[in-house]
Amino acid sequence: MAINANQVKELREKTGAGMMDCKNALTESNGDMEQAVVWLRKKGLASAQKKASRIAAEGMIGHYIHPGDKLGVLVEVNCETDFAAKSPDFTQLVKDLAMHIAAQNPLYVRRDEVPDEVLEKEKEIYKDQARASGKPEHIIDKIADGKLESYFQMACLYDQQFVKDPSQTVEHLINALIGKIGENIKVRRFTRFKTGEGLEKRKSDLAGDVAAALGG
């Protein structure tokens, strides 16, 4: 199938990949734009895996403060060189990640950071739910594993759908830039602050809230 310049341009704008990579992706996907995006992401993921062992000790601290000043995020994102850390693409990635964390509230960076005791507790909950719904015992573990995958997609930053483009995960977003700049990139840590989170309200405040809810 013949690939035209407009298709290549559209794919490049969608992914940020190089012109020849976009043309190859469209050729391999018979002109299917969505399959070409998948092809490029897989290619980016392979590139990222090759670079994953390289030390990423440079980078920057990004931040996001939500309008109203009651929600904020700090995130450390590392790369290999100070040159890359100062690039517009890397700076934009860090800003996007800080905003994403504010919006989606992940609990961990990656799934390998989830404590074993948390995973076991979640699996037991899913097993109990499956049994309560009458599922056969021989498929209980499989159901629990499937729901655990959904838990990772909710709780882990890298597994979450990117808030500005739900068609890709945060990991895909990072891997696309790894493929573009040729350096390892890793989110090291983040902290999300929300005013009053985790604090008990004073009894007078609570009473006022109840009265307001009751129309009193």
Q: Is 58 or 55 the better-scoring residue by pLDDT?
A: 58
Instruction: Name the pTM for this structure.
Output: 0.68
Distance CA 73, CA 15 (A): 26
If one compares 11 and 47, the residue with the highest pLDDT of the two is 11
pLDDT at 188: 95
Residue 95, token pair as written in the block: 């800003």
- What integer pLDDT is reported at residue 215 of this predicted model? 54
Which pLDDT belongs to residue 5? 80
Q: In sequence order, which residues have a C-beta less than 8 Å from that of residue 205 and are 6 or more positions away?
A: none
pLDDT at 149: 87
Burial of 175 (0-12, 13-18, 19+ CB in 10 A): buried
Every domain of the chain with CATH number 1.10.8.10 lies at 1-51
Confidence band of 50 (pLDDT split at 50, 70, 90): low
> Which is more confident, 61 or 131?
61
Please, where are the H alpha helices in the chain?
5-15, 19-28, 33-51, 82-85, 88-104, 116-132, 140-155, 170-181, 203-213
So what's the pLDDT on residue 147?
87
Across the chain, mean pLDDT equals 84
CATH class of the domain defined by 115-152: mainly alpha
* Beta pairing partners, 40: none
**What does the pLDDT average to over 132-139?**
85
Q: Is 136 a residue whose pLDDT tops 90? A: no
CATH topology for 58-114+156-216?
Tetrahydropterin Synthase; Chain A (3.30.479)
At 134 the pLDDT is 83
Q: Could you tell me where in the chain the CATH 1.10.286.20 domains are found?
A: 115-152
Start-end ranges of CATH 3.30.479.20 in the chain?
Answer: 58-114+156-216
**pLDDT tops 70 at residue 155:** yes
Span of 127-141, 152-166, 183-197 with lowest mean pLDDT = 127-141
Q: Which long-range contacts (CB under 8 A, 24 or more apart) does 34-41 make?
A: 36/11, 37/11, 37/167, 40/11, 40/15, 40/176, 41/15, 41/168, 41/172, 41/175, 41/176
Q: Would the pLDDT of 157 be above 80?
A: yes
- pLDDT, residue 63, reads 96
* Cα distance between residue 24 and residue 19, in whole Å: 9
Say how far residue 212 (Cα) sits from the centre of its chain. Answer: 38
Residues 26-39: tens digit of each pLDDT: 888 888 888 888 88
> Is 1.25.10.10 the CATH number for 1-51?
no
User: Is residue 71 within 8 Å of residue 48, measured between CB atoms?
Assistant: no
201 confidence band (pLDDT: 50, 70, 90): low
